[in-house]
Amino acid sequence: MASQRDVKQSKELVQTLLGVKGETYNDWLHTQHQAYISEHQDLIMEGLLHYQGIQEEKTSKQPSEKKNVDKTKTDEHAHSSSLQGEEEA
């Protein structure tokens, strides 16, 4: 791993060279970021597709889970109603 001093020296040298060429460091850095993103688009797409699959899986599970929760609530309500009927008798 590069030391802070090495990083600073490299950055200053690049800024100086870019200045000689009439370019700004921020524009150059943005170009570097875009190139890195382009080089790794396959990884980005893989991650997005994986995330999409997880979201679709969650969505497909929700209705059946909701039915189970609703059935449990209905069963609990029926049970408590029958208990109240026994107390009144």
What percentage of the chain carries pLDDT values higher than 90? 57
Q: Determine which of 7-11, 39-43, 70-74 has the lowest per-residue pLDDT on average.
A: 70-74
Would you say residue 67 has pLDDT above 70?
no
Between CA 22 and CA 64 the distance in angstroms is 62
- Whether this model's pTM surpasses 0.85: no
> Mean pLDDT over all residues of the chain?
83
Would you say residue 66 has pLDDT above 80?
no
Between CA 16 and CA 12 the distance in angstroms is 6
What integer pLDDT is reported at residue 63 of this predicted model?
61
The residue type of 17 is L
What is the full DSSP assignment across 11-69?
Answer: HHHHHHHHHHHT--HHHHHHHHHHHHHHHTHHHHHHHHHHHHHHHHHHHHHHHHHHHHH
